[in-house]
Structure formats: C-alpha cells, structure tokens
Amino acid sequence: MKITYTLTDESPALATYSFLPIVQAFLGKVGIEVETSDISLSARVLAQFPESLKESQRVKDELAILGELVNQSDANLIKTPNISASIPQLKTTIKELQNKGFAIPNFPDEPSNAEEKTIKEKYQKVLGSAVNPVLRQGNSDRRCTKAVKEYAKKNPYRVVEFNKASKTRVSYMASGDFFDNEKAVLIQDSTKARIEFVGNNGTEVLKDNLKLDKNEILDATFMSAKALDKFYAEQIEVCKKENILLSLHLKATMMKVSDPVIFGHAVKVYFKELFDSFSEELTRLGVNANNGVNELLTKIENSPKKQEILAKYNEILAKSAPLSMVNSDKGITNLHIPSDVIVDASMPAMLKNGARLWDKEGKERDTNALIPDKTYATIYEAVIEDLQKNGTLNPSTLGSVSNVGLMAKKAQEYGSHDKTFIAKENGIFRIVNEKGAILLEHKVEKGDIYRANEAKFEAVQNWIDLGIQRADLTGSKAIFWLDSKRPSNKIMIDLVEARLKEKGKDIAILPPKEACLESLKLIRAGKDAISISGNV
C-alpha cells in the first residue's frame, strides 16, 4: 500500500514540506508507505535537458512517471498545488537554475535555427498547465469535509462589507468572443482529422492525425482581435469617465496559448501611444507585449531611448484609466506580468474584499473587472448582482457549493493547447476528416485567436454519472451548469437529458449565470449545492 506525495513550488511550498512528515508519521503506523515525487517547475525544467547537465545534476522526468501511474486503478496520488508557469516565471526559473550551476539553455523567444526551435519545444512542455492534463485522467469530485466546513463557520475568513453604492462591475465582449463564434459537432463515427488554415499562399496543415472518437463532442471557435481591441478601448474610457480601476482577469497559466495573447492585446491597447511612438525600438529590443509591462521595462534598461520611453509610460499612467495594482509599493500593475492575476483566485479575492481592488497609492477602490470571454464572465457578474440585491455574504452561515467537473481525457479547454492558433493573415480555419469532409469551419482575420476542443463520450458519461451519484449521496440540490446558446453545451445537454431519463433522475440544467445565482440563493439559506460543470 503506497501513496505518492508530490513536491511542488506553490501552496505555499512551506505547507507542502511541513505536512509531509505528519502524513508519513500517521500512515507509517498502519503500514502505508508515502513516497515523494518532485514535479516542481525547476524539476520539470531540469528533466527536459539531461544532455546539458552533469550526471549528478540529472533528474528523472517525474511527471511522465506519474502520468503512467495515474492510469493504474490502485494509484493514490496527493497532488499539492503547482505553478502553471507563464513565460516570465519560466525565464526567472531558468536564470535561478543557471546561477546555481545548472547549464541549461536560455528560453528563445524567437528561435533562429533548428537547435533553438528544439529548445523552445522542450520548454513549451513545462509551460502553463503542464501538470493537470497529465495527472487529471478522471473527472473531478471536489468538496470540503464536514469538519473543515464547521471549522470555517466557527472561524470565518475576513469579508469586507459590500457597499450597495459600489460601481464595481464585470465587463465582457458584446460580440466576437469565443462564446459567440463557437461551432460544434457530435462525431458520428471514429475518424482522424486535421486542422488546416487556408490563406493567400494555399493550405497549411497545422495539426494532423487528430483522433476523433464516435460520439465525442468537437467544437471550435475564435476570438476576434479587432473586437477584443475595441472592447479594451471602450472599457478604458468607462474607467476614466467613472474614475474606477481597470483590472484584467484571465488565466494566462492554464490557458497558456490563448490567454497570454489576450493579455498582450490589453497591454498594447492601454499603452497604444507608447507602442506606436517607439515601435521600431521595441521591436529591436524584442519586447513581446504578451509577456507584460515588466518585460518592456526590463528590456529598455540599456536602450538609448530609455528615458523617452519611461516618460511616455508615466504620461499614459497619469492620464489614462487608473490601473489596479498587484503591488502598489513597488509600482507593479495588473498589466505587469500575465501570471500575476489569475481569474479564479483574483475574482474571489476581490469579491471578498467588498468588490474592491487597490490603486497606485494602496487605496481600495471600485473596479471594472475585464473578463473578455462571456463564457465565464457571467458567473462573476452573477455574484456582483447578488451582492447588490442581498448584501454581504456571511461565511459563518453559508452553505457550501461542491463541484463535479468535466476534465477527463483533456476535456474541453484542458486539451486545447495543441489546437490553438493565431491567424497569420485573413483566411479560413477548418477541421477536415480523413475522407475530406469539413467538420467545422471559421472565416477569420489576421490576429484572431482560434482554438478547438474535445469532450470524449466516455468522459461526459462518467461526469454525468458522478453528478447523479453525488446528488444521491448528499441529497443536496444539484445543477448542471450548461448553456443551450453555446453549441457544444447544447449537444451536451442532449446527452445529459438522455442519461437522466435512462437513470430516472431529475436534475436541473441552467446556464452558468442562472446556475450561479441559484447556488448563491441556496447557500445564503444555509443549504448546500452541487455544481456539475464543464471547465467553467
């Protein structure tokens, strides 16, 4: 009998390491061995470059080993929180390891030869959500134990009173986002497919041998770059007019291909005058807006135009919308580093803080929380609406919302990384099966962000059954968070309804916003709820 305990770099690390001997001491008494596996970012980096290291410095690819382990039915794994690294975080790690004597290569932003291309491909394996898709082979069933919940009620976390005069809002694109442009299809027969881009220079195959299984849900969509920029420009004006903070909430770690680009657009729109005025110099320096303002400020250090650029930077900060700050004392803004603000942590923290964030002077202020894609933004909008109507949430009396989540077999966005592309020019993205039939097709413009997702039938059925099982075991109200206006969800709703009918069960199906509002109503009454959701 054995449990594998992961050593990581977050959570914080102190908790990971201090809890381990306690686990070992207790379980050792009953003959259960606890072994460790280092899947920290530094270990994952080192595992990619054994040829660059001395023999004594080499480490096993523990993540690959665990990837095999989790496919065994008797596997027990305690996965502590790990960093899903952004490029700035990766570069910091590389520098730290090099300073400690590990001769690993630098990260090449723009590979200039085959060797650098190979190096970048290796680093891509450890970027973003590198761990979860490997380890989360099953769907998730997440809840807190009764003892933990009772402790939390008796020792409630700090919540700042919500002022009903608050100007805080959640803003998302009116059109042109992933939600609006989604198309989906239920695969009738197992096949192989390819993702192509048809442009001025003919057809380019972007991904080949995409295995599609019978009855899986395949969807594809894109976000319009023009609509995104227009959205950002409009929201900057809203913040200036109402004198509220501008804050951007994305997940540039897990969504490691799409969201850094969405982040970069915000940087370029907010600092448009700077990028327009110094375009040539910033290009020469290799500044990539997707990596945030911090990279810009670092790379101009030795530029002959440093003072001019800094002057323009400070001028924009002074006259444009006030930015939400990550660290007011150090002048670190919301747009400094893409991984500094992660939506599923930043939004709850903001909402618990009276729906306010901090300005450059460290003062709390109302904010315009930008979450461009309405697929997810509406659940946070629901909380703001609930606070406006019903007032501050009291953790000492609230019920709990547990979650049954669809993530098995890299479901939905979890598996989109290798199927996400930026349009190099105006053209058409399409998914074509091995018989040449076009499954899905999107006409796009240069810069648009395209991605395709899958949800395997087996994963969906297991997810539905887990939701039913959790509802039966607890007696709590369960809700499937699915929106019939989203094509992939519409297909999923058909599968859910068929399965519920087969099992003789009656479980509500609501769009995410309505599901969130209903869940808030339940927990305010001290009841528990079960959210059965996709990656939302």
pLDDT, position 83: 80
Give, in order, the Cα–Cα distances in Å from 224 to each of 174, 175, 418. 12, 9, 20
Please tell me the distance from the alpha carbon of residue 272 to that of residue 265, in angstroms, as a whole number: 10
Chain mean pLDDT for the chain: 94
| Dihedral-angle region of residue 409 (phi above 0 means left; psi in -120 to 50 means alpha; beta otherwise) | left
* Model confidence band, residue 8 (pLDDT cutoffs 50, 70, 90): confident
Task: Please check whether residue 88 is in contact with residue 339, taking contact to mean a CB–CB distance below 8 angstroms.
Answer: yes
pLDDT, position 440: 98
Comparing CA positions, the residue from 358, 356, 370 lying closest to residue 259 is: 370
Helix (H) or strand (E) segment spanning residue 245: strand 245-248
Q: What is the mean pLDDT of residues 146-164?
A: 94
Q: What is the mean pLDDT of residues 172-188?
A: 98
Comparing CA positions, the residue from 128, 359, 167 lying closest to residue 263 is: 128
pLDDT at 244 over 80: yes
pLDDT, position 536: 61
Residue 231: alpha-carbon gap to chain centroid:
20
What percent of the chain lies above the pLDDT cut of 90?
85
* Model confidence band, residue 130 (pLDDT cutoffs 50, 70, 90): confident
pLDDT at 12 over 80: no
Give, in order, the Cα–Cα distances in Å from 520 to each of 144, 185, 318, 343, 376. 17, 33, 39, 19, 16
Please tell me the distance from the alpha carbon of residue 209 to that of residue 418, in angstroms, as a whole number: 12
pLDDT, position 11: 63
Comparing CA positions, the residue from 192, 212, 137 lying closest to residue 459 is: 137
User: The dihedral of CA 419, 114, 125, 336: what is its sign?
Assistant: negative
The C-alpha angle with vertex 248 and arms to 246 and 249, in degrees rounded to 5, equals 140
pLDDT, position 129: 75
pLDDT, position 27: 95
Helix%, strand%, coil% for the chain, nearest 5: 45, 20, 35
pLDDT at 132 over 70: yes
Task: Please check whether residue 211 is in contact with residue 249, taking contact to mean a CB–CB distance below 8 angstroms.
Answer: no
Q: What is the mean pLDDT of residues 299-315?
A: 96
Choose the weakest-confidence range: 121-125, 227-231, 272-276, 403-407.
121-125
DSSP string, 322-338: PBPEEETTTTEETTS-T
pLDDT at 317 over 70: yes
pLDDT in tens, 203-221: 999 999 999 999 999 999 9
Q: What is the mean pLDDT of residues 289-297?
A: 95
What is the SS3 assignment for 412? strand
